[in-house]
Protein backbone atom coordinates (compact mmCIF):
# COMPACT_ATOMS: atom_id res chain seq x y z
CA UNK A 1 0.00 0.00 0.00
CA UNK A 2 1.50 3.35 -1.09
CA UNK A 3 1.51 6.46 1.05
CA UNK A 4 1.85 10.09 -0.12
CA UNK A 5 5.15 11.73 0.73
CA UNK A 6 5.16 15.10 2.53
CA UNK A 7 5.16 17.27 -0.63
CA UNK A 8 2.32 15.32 -2.23
CA UNK A 9 0.33 15.46 0.99
CA UNK A 10 0.73 19.22 1.25
CA UNK A 11 -0.29 19.56 -2.39
CA UNK A 12 -3.38 17.44 -1.81
CA UNK A 13 -4.28 19.56 1.22
CA UNK A 14 -4.02 22.73 -0.83
CA UNK A 15 -6.31 21.30 -3.53
CA UNK A 16 -8.84 20.17 -0.93
CA UNK A 17 -8.69 23.58 0.75
CA UNK A 18 -9.36 25.32 -2.56
CA UNK A 19 -12.30 23.00 -3.25
CA UNK A 20 -13.75 23.70 0.20
CA UNK A 21 -13.34 27.47 -0.29
CA UNK A 22 -15.12 27.29 -3.63
CA UNK A 23 -17.97 25.20 -2.14
CA UNK A 24 -18.37 27.59 0.81
CA UNK A 25 -18.40 30.55 -1.55
CA UNK A 26 -21.07 28.89 -3.67
CA UNK A 27 -23.17 28.03 -0.61
CA UNK A 28 -22.88 31.58 0.71
CA UNK A 29 -23.89 33.02 -2.63
CA UNK A 30 -26.83 30.63 -2.86
CA UNK A 31 -27.86 31.46 0.70
CA UNK A 32 -27.59 35.16 -0.02
CA UNK A 33 -29.76 34.74 -3.09
CA UNK A 34 -32.28 32.66 -1.14
CA UNK A 35 -32.41 35.39 1.52
CA UNK A 36 -33.87 37.76 -1.05
CA UNK A 37 -37.35 37.08 0.26
CA UNK A 38 -39.05 39.54 -2.02
CA UNK A 39 -39.52 43.25 -2.38
CA UNK A 40 -42.38 45.59 -1.58
CA UNK A 41 -42.66 48.50 -4.01
CA UNK A 42 -45.04 51.12 -2.62
CA UNK A 43 -46.70 53.88 -4.64
CA UNK A 44 -49.25 56.42 -3.52
CA UNK A 45 -49.93 59.31 -1.19
CA UNK A 46 -49.56 60.27 2.47
CA UNK A 47 -51.37 57.13 3.63
CA UNK A 48 -48.21 55.17 2.78
CA UNK A 49 -45.48 57.86 2.49
CA UNK A 50 -42.52 56.64 4.54
CA UNK A 51 -40.52 59.88 4.36
CA UNK A 52 -40.12 60.99 0.75
CA UNK A 53 -41.62 64.39 1.50
CA UNK A 54 -38.85 64.99 4.04
CA UNK A 55 -36.62 65.61 1.03
CA UNK A 56 -39.01 67.96 -0.79
CA UNK A 57 -39.66 71.66 -0.34
CA UNK A 58 -43.32 71.08 0.36
CA UNK A 59 -46.10 72.14 2.70
CA UNK A 60 -47.11 68.49 3.09
CA UNK A 61 -44.75 67.19 5.76
CA UNK A 62 -44.91 64.92 8.78
CA UNK A 63 -41.34 65.42 9.97
CA UNK A 64 -42.33 67.11 13.21
CA UNK A 65 -43.51 65.74 16.57
CA UNK A 66 -45.71 64.14 17.68
CA UNK A 67 -45.90 62.26 14.35
CA UNK A 68 -44.10 58.94 14.77
CA UNK A 69 -44.45 58.97 18.54
CA UNK A 70 -45.22 55.23 18.54
CA UNK A 71 -42.84 54.22 15.73
CA UNK A 72 -40.49 51.86 17.57
CA UNK A 73 -37.88 51.64 14.81
CA UNK A 74 -37.14 55.37 15.20
CA UNK A 75 -37.41 55.48 18.97
CA UNK A 76 -40.61 57.49 18.72
CA UNK A 77 -39.10 60.20 16.54
CA UNK A 78 -40.87 61.49 13.41
CA UNK A 79 -39.85 59.77 10.17
CA UNK A 80 -42.12 61.52 7.69
CA UNK A 81 -44.94 59.03 8.15
CA UNK A 82 -48.33 60.71 8.51
CA UNK A 83 -49.38 58.71 11.54
CA UNK A 84 -48.26 57.93 15.08
CA UNK A 85 -46.53 54.67 14.11
CA UNK A 86 -46.44 52.36 11.12
CA UNK A 87 -48.31 52.82 7.88
CA UNK A 88 -50.39 50.08 6.25
CA UNK A 89 -47.48 49.46 3.86
CA UNK A 90 -45.06 48.91 6.75
CA UNK A 91 -47.37 46.44 8.47
CA UNK A 92 -48.16 44.50 5.29
CA UNK A 93 -44.44 44.05 4.68
CA UNK A 94 -43.95 42.73 8.21
CA UNK A 95 -46.87 40.32 7.90
CA UNK A 96 -45.48 38.94 4.63
CA UNK A 97 -42.07 38.29 6.17
CA UNK A 98 -40.14 41.04 4.41
CA UNK A 99 -37.42 41.84 6.98
CA UNK A 100 -36.89 45.55 6.19
CA UNK A 101 -39.24 48.41 5.49
CA UNK A 102 -39.32 49.66 1.90
CA UNK A 103 -36.85 52.53 1.84
CA UNK A 104 -37.99 55.99 0.64
CA UNK A 105 -36.70 56.55 -2.88
CA UNK A 106 -35.47 60.07 -2.08
CA UNK A 107 -33.50 58.95 0.99
CA UNK A 108 -29.71 59.26 0.48
CA UNK A 109 -29.17 55.59 1.40
CA UNK A 110 -31.69 54.21 -1.12
CA UNK A 111 -28.95 52.56 -3.14
CA UNK A 112 -27.24 49.19 -3.47
CA UNK A 113 -28.49 46.27 -1.42
CA UNK A 114 -30.78 48.55 0.60
CA UNK A 115 -33.31 48.34 -2.25
CA UNK A 116 -33.51 44.53 -2.26
CA UNK A 117 -36.49 44.54 0.12
CA UNK A 118 -38.31 47.28 -1.74
CA UNK A 119 -38.56 51.00 -2.34
CA UNK A 120 -41.26 53.44 -1.29
CA UNK A 121 -42.17 56.15 -3.84
CA UNK A 122 -45.29 57.48 -2.09
CA UNK A 123 -45.63 61.18 -1.43
CA UNK A 124 -47.97 63.18 0.77
CA UNK A 125 -50.23 65.25 -1.47
CA UNK A 126 -49.56 63.10 -4.53
CA UNK A 127 -52.30 61.89 -6.82
CA UNK A 128 -53.09 60.18 -10.08
CA UNK A 129 -53.41 63.49 -11.93
CA UNK A 130 -50.44 65.81 -12.22
CA UNK A 131 -52.51 68.84 -11.16
CA UNK A 132 -53.46 67.19 -7.86
CA UNK A 133 -51.81 68.59 -4.74
CA UNK A 134 -50.73 71.96 -6.15
CA UNK A 135 -51.82 73.48 -2.85
CA UNK A 136 -48.74 71.84 -1.25
CA UNK A 137 -46.30 73.36 -3.81
CA UNK A 138 -44.26 70.17 -4.23
CA UNK A 139 -45.26 66.48 -4.16
CA UNK A 140 -44.60 63.37 -6.24
CA UNK A 141 -47.54 62.43 -8.44
CA UNK A 142 -47.95 58.94 -9.84
CA UNK A 143 -46.30 59.79 -13.17
CA UNK A 144 -43.13 60.87 -11.36
CA UNK A 145 -43.29 57.87 -9.02
CA UNK A 146 -43.31 55.49 -11.98
CA UNK A 147 -40.41 57.45 -13.51
CA UNK A 148 -38.50 56.87 -10.28
CA UNK A 149 -39.29 53.16 -10.32
CA UNK A 150 -37.70 53.05 -13.78
CA UNK A 151 -34.48 54.28 -12.16
CA UNK A 152 -34.74 51.59 -9.48
CA UNK A 153 -35.43 48.95 -12.12
CA UNK A 154 -32.15 49.75 -13.88
CA UNK A 155 -30.34 49.58 -10.54
CA UNK A 156 -31.63 46.03 -10.03
CA UNK A 157 -30.15 45.03 -13.39
CA UNK A 158 -26.77 46.34 -12.24
CA UNK A 159 -26.96 44.57 -8.89
CA UNK A 160 -28.35 41.17 -9.95
CA UNK A 161 -27.87 40.97 -13.69
CA UNK A 162 -30.69 41.37 -16.20
CA UNK A 163 -32.06 37.83 -16.04
CA UNK A 164 -32.09 37.44 -12.25
CA UNK A 165 -33.39 40.97 -11.78
CA UNK A 166 -36.31 40.32 -14.11
CA UNK A 167 -37.17 37.10 -12.28
CA UNK A 168 -36.93 38.81 -8.88
CA UNK A 169 -39.15 41.72 -9.91
CA UNK A 170 -41.73 39.54 -11.66
CA UNK A 171 -41.97 36.60 -9.24
CA UNK A 172 -40.91 37.80 -5.79
CA UNK A 173 -42.09 41.39 -5.66
CA UNK A 174 -45.43 43.00 -4.86
CA UNK A 175 -46.45 46.40 -6.17
CA UNK A 176 -48.94 48.25 -4.01
CA UNK A 177 -50.73 51.41 -5.12
CA UNK A 178 -52.66 53.56 -2.64
CA UNK A 179 -53.77 56.69 -4.44
CA UNK A 180 -56.82 58.68 -5.50
CA UNK A 181 -58.02 60.45 -2.34
CA UNK A 182 -56.05 63.61 -3.07
CA UNK A 183 -57.47 63.82 -6.56
CA UNK A 184 -60.75 64.59 -4.85
CA UNK A 185 -59.75 66.26 -1.57
CA UNK A 186 -56.95 68.40 -2.99
CA UNK A 187 -58.14 68.86 -6.54
CA UNK A 188 -61.76 68.42 -7.58
CA UNK A 189 -63.25 69.40 -4.21
CA UNK A 190 -61.14 72.56 -3.89
CA UNK A 191 -63.12 75.13 -5.94
CA UNK A 192 -60.59 77.93 -5.55
CA UNK A 193 -57.89 75.76 -7.16
CA UNK A 194 -59.85 73.59 -9.53
CA UNK A 195 -62.60 75.87 -10.77
CA UNK A 196 -61.53 75.17 -14.36
CA UNK A 197 -61.82 71.43 -13.84
CA UNK A 198 -65.15 71.84 -12.07
CA UNK A 199 -66.53 73.85 -14.99
CA UNK A 200 -65.24 71.53 -17.72
CA UNK A 201 -65.61 68.22 -15.87
CA UNK A 202 -68.63 66.66 -14.28
CA UNK A 203 -67.94 63.81 -11.82
CA UNK A 204 -68.16 61.20 -14.60
CA UNK A 205 -65.64 63.00 -16.78
CA UNK A 206 -63.27 63.62 -13.89
CA UNK A 207 -63.28 60.03 -12.65
CA UNK A 208 -62.87 58.80 -16.24
CA UNK A 209 -59.78 61.01 -16.51
CA UNK A 210 -58.41 59.50 -13.31
CA UNK A 211 -58.98 55.97 -14.61
CA UNK A 212 -57.36 56.77 -17.96
CA UNK A 213 -54.23 58.12 -16.30
CA UNK A 214 -54.04 55.24 -13.82
CA UNK A 215 -54.38 52.74 -16.68
CA UNK A 216 -51.31 54.26 -18.33
CA UNK A 217 -49.36 54.32 -15.07
CA UNK A 218 -50.08 50.68 -14.20
CA UNK A 219 -49.29 49.61 -17.77
CA UNK A 220 -45.94 51.40 -17.59
CA UNK A 221 -45.17 49.52 -14.37
CA UNK A 222 -46.07 46.26 -16.11
CA UNK A 223 -43.69 47.12 -18.96
CA UNK A 224 -40.97 47.49 -16.31
CA UNK A 225 -41.69 43.88 -15.16
CA UNK A 226 -44.21 44.51 -12.39
CA UNK A 227 -46.57 41.52 -12.30
CA UNK A 228 -48.17 41.28 -8.85
CA UNK A 229 -50.29 44.36 -8.16
CA UNK A 230 -52.51 45.35 -5.27
CA UNK A 231 -54.45 48.56 -5.84
CA UNK A 232 -56.49 50.18 -3.10
CA UNK A 233 -59.70 52.00 -3.83
CA UNK A 234 -60.52 55.39 -2.31
CA UNK A 235 -61.75 55.25 1.27
CA UNK A 236 -64.80 57.02 2.73
CA UNK A 237 -63.25 60.49 2.40
CA UNK A 238 -66.53 62.15 3.33
CA UNK A 239 -66.24 60.65 6.83
CA UNK A 240 -62.76 61.83 7.86
CA UNK A 241 -62.46 64.36 10.72
CA UNK A 242 -61.47 67.15 8.31
CA UNK A 243 -64.63 66.80 6.23
CA UNK A 244 -66.85 66.44 9.30
CA UNK A 245 -65.32 69.54 10.87
CA UNK A 246 -65.46 71.95 7.92
CA UNK A 247 -69.00 70.84 7.08
CA UNK A 248 -70.11 70.95 10.74
CA UNK A 249 -71.58 67.46 10.65
CA UNK A 250 -72.90 65.31 13.45
CA UNK A 251 -70.77 62.42 14.61
CA UNK A 252 -72.58 59.80 12.53
CA UNK A 253 -72.80 61.91 9.34
CA UNK A 254 -70.55 61.98 6.26
CA UNK A 255 -70.27 64.42 3.35
CA UNK A 256 -72.46 63.04 0.56
CA UNK A 257 -70.63 64.54 -2.45
CA UNK A 258 -67.19 63.33 -1.36
CA UNK A 259 -68.42 59.81 -0.69
CA UNK A 260 -70.40 59.72 -3.92
CA UNK A 261 -67.25 60.63 -5.87
CA UNK A 262 -65.26 57.93 -4.08
CA UNK A 263 -67.85 55.23 -4.79
CA UNK A 264 -68.13 56.29 -8.42
CA UNK A 265 -64.37 56.10 -8.91
CA UNK A 266 -64.13 52.80 -7.02
CA UNK A 267 -66.60 51.05 -9.34
CA UNK A 268 -64.59 52.15 -12.36
CA UNK A 269 -61.32 51.13 -10.70
CA UNK A 270 -62.59 47.60 -10.11
CA UNK A 271 -63.50 47.27 -13.80
CA UNK A 272 -60.10 48.67 -14.82
CA UNK A 273 -58.20 46.08 -12.77
CA UNK A 274 -60.26 43.27 -14.28
CA UNK A 275 -59.48 44.54 -17.78
CA UNK A 276 -55.76 44.89 -17.10
CA UNK A 277 -55.58 41.39 -15.63
CA UNK A 278 -57.17 40.00 -18.78
CA UNK A 279 -55.05 42.01 -21.23
CA UNK A 280 -51.57 41.97 -19.65
CA UNK A 281 -50.17 38.40 -19.82
CA UNK A 282 -48.82 36.98 -16.58
CA UNK A 283 -50.19 39.80 -14.44
CA UNK A 284 -52.33 39.57 -11.31
CA UNK A 285 -54.30 42.61 -10.15
CA UNK A 286 -55.74 42.60 -6.64
CA UNK A 287 -58.54 45.00 -5.69
CA UNK A 288 -58.24 46.20 -2.09
CA UNK A 289 -61.64 47.36 -0.87
CA UNK A 290 -60.31 50.02 1.49
CA UNK A 291 -63.61 51.90 1.36
CA UNK A 292 -65.61 49.12 3.02
CA UNK A 293 -62.76 48.26 5.39
CA UNK A 294 -62.50 51.78 6.78
CA UNK A 295 -66.26 52.25 6.79
CA UNK A 296 -66.56 49.11 8.90
CA UNK A 297 -64.15 50.60 11.46
CA UNK A 298 -65.98 53.94 11.44
CA UNK A 299 -69.44 52.40 11.78
CA UNK A 300 -68.60 49.73 14.35
CA UNK A 301 -65.56 51.26 16.03
CA UNK A 302 -66.57 50.09 19.52
CA UNK A 303 -66.45 46.46 18.36
CA UNK A 304 -62.75 46.92 17.57
CA UNK A 305 -61.80 48.55 20.86
CA UNK A 306 -61.92 52.19 19.77
CA UNK A 307 -63.55 55.03 21.69
CA UNK A 308 -64.06 57.33 18.70
CA UNK A 309 -64.07 57.21 14.91
CA UNK A 310 -64.82 60.92 14.49
CA UNK A 311 -62.26 62.91 16.44
CA UNK A 312 -58.59 63.15 15.45
CA UNK A 313 -56.12 62.20 18.15
CA UNK A 314 -53.69 64.89 17.02
CA UNK A 315 -55.02 68.15 15.56
CA UNK A 316 -56.77 71.41 16.29
CA UNK A 317 -59.96 73.16 15.31
CA UNK A 318 -63.63 72.35 15.69
CA UNK A 319 -65.46 69.56 17.39
CA UNK A 320 -63.35 66.83 15.79
CA UNK A 321 -59.90 68.51 15.88
CA UNK A 322 -60.13 68.30 12.13
CA UNK A 323 -58.85 71.56 10.63
CA UNK A 324 -55.15 72.02 11.47
CA UNK A 325 -52.78 69.10 10.68
CA UNK A 326 -50.84 67.35 13.42
CA UNK A 327 -47.81 69.27 14.69
CA UNK A 328 -45.99 70.43 17.82
CA UNK A 329 -48.78 72.85 18.83
CA UNK A 330 -51.61 70.39 18.26
CA UNK A 331 -53.74 68.92 20.99
CA UNK A 332 -52.76 65.28 21.56
CA UNK A 333 -54.92 62.51 23.00
CA UNK A 334 -53.48 60.18 25.61
CA UNK A 335 -55.29 57.05 24.39
CA UNK A 336 -53.82 56.93 20.88
CA UNK A 337 -54.78 53.29 20.32
CA UNK A 338 -58.42 54.17 21.01
CA UNK A 339 -58.74 56.56 18.05
CA UNK A 340 -59.47 55.36 14.52
CA UNK A 341 -57.96 58.61 13.20
CA UNK A 342 -54.54 59.92 14.13
CA UNK A 343 -55.02 63.35 12.52
CA UNK A 344 -57.70 65.06 10.37
CA UNK A 345 -56.92 62.77 7.40
CA UNK A 346 -55.00 59.64 8.36
CA UNK A 347 -55.69 56.48 10.39
CA UNK A 348 -53.87 55.73 13.62
CA UNK A 349 -51.40 52.87 13.81
CA UNK A 350 -54.01 50.84 15.72
CA UNK A 351 -56.41 51.23 12.79
CA UNK A 352 -53.64 50.55 10.26
CA UNK A 353 -52.87 47.22 11.96
CA UNK A 354 -56.48 46.05 11.59
CA UNK A 355 -56.67 47.24 7.99
CA UNK A 356 -53.35 45.67 6.99
CA UNK A 357 -54.17 42.28 8.50
CA UNK A 358 -57.42 42.13 6.55
CA UNK A 359 -55.50 42.84 3.35
CA UNK A 360 -52.96 40.13 4.11
CA UNK A 361 -55.27 37.35 5.31
CA UNK A 362 -58.82 38.56 4.71
CA UNK A 363 -61.52 37.15 2.47
CA UNK A 364 -62.89 38.45 -0.82
CA UNK A 365 -65.21 40.93 0.89
CA UNK A 366 -62.22 43.19 1.40
CA UNK A 367 -59.51 41.85 -0.91
CA UNK A 368 -60.19 40.07 -4.20
CA UNK A 369 -59.74 37.80 -6.05
CA UNK A 370 -57.20 36.72 -3.41
CA UNK A 371 -55.47 38.14 -0.34
CA UNK A 372 -51.87 39.34 -0.22
CA UNK A 373 -50.47 36.21 1.41
CA UNK A 374 -51.91 34.18 -1.45
CA UNK A 375 -50.58 36.72 -3.97
CA UNK A 376 -47.07 36.47 -2.54
CA UNK A 377 -47.10 32.67 -2.81
CA UNK A 378 -48.03 32.69 -6.51
pLDDT one-digit tens code per residue, 297-310:
999 999 999 999 99
Q: The dihedral of CA 74, 77, 83, 85: what is its sign?
A: positive
Residue (of 324, 294, 323) closest to 309 by Cα position:
294
In a domain, 112, yes or no: yes
Average pLDDT over residues 16-39: 51
- What is the pLDDT at residue 6? 55
* Residue 177 bridge partners (DSSP): 43, 231
Record the pTM: 0.90
Residue 196's domain spans which residues?
38-377
Give the residue numbers annotated as catalytic, written as ranges. Answer: 46, 343, 346
User: What is the count of structural domains for the chain?
Assistant: 1
- pLDDT-derived band at 17 (thresholds 50, 70, 90) equals low
Cβ burial of 32 (10 Å; 0-12, 13-18, 19+) is: exposed
Q: What percent of the chain has pLDDT over 70?
A: 88
Residue (of 215, 115, 208) closest to 168 by Cα position:
115
In a domain, 3, yes or no: no
Between 244 and 2, the more confident residue is 244
In a domain, 11, yes or no: no
- What is the pLDDT at residue 37? 73
In a domain, 10, yes or no: no
In a domain, 113, yes or no: yes
How confident is the model over 132-157, as pLDDT tens digits?
999 999 999 999 999 999 999 999 99
- Residue 281 sits in a domain whose CATH number is 3.40.50.1110
Is the pLDDT assigned to residue 281 strictly greater than 90?
A: yes
Pairing state of beta strands 284-288 and 367-368? antiparallel
In a domain, 32, yes or no: no
How confident is the model over 227-255, as pLDDT tens digits?
999 999 999 999 999 999 999 999 999 99
- DSSP conformation class of 340: S
- What is the pLDDT at residue 22? 45
Amino acid sequence: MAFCDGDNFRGLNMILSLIIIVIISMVRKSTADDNLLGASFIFGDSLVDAGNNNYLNTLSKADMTPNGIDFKASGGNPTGRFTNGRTIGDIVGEELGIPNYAIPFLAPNATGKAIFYGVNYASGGGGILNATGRIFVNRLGMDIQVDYFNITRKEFDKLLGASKAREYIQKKSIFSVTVGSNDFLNNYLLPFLSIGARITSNPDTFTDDMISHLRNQLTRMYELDARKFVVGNVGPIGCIPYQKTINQLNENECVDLADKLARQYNAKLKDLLTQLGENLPGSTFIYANVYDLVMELITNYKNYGFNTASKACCGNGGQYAGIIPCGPTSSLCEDRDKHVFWDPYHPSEAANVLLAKQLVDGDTKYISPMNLRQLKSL
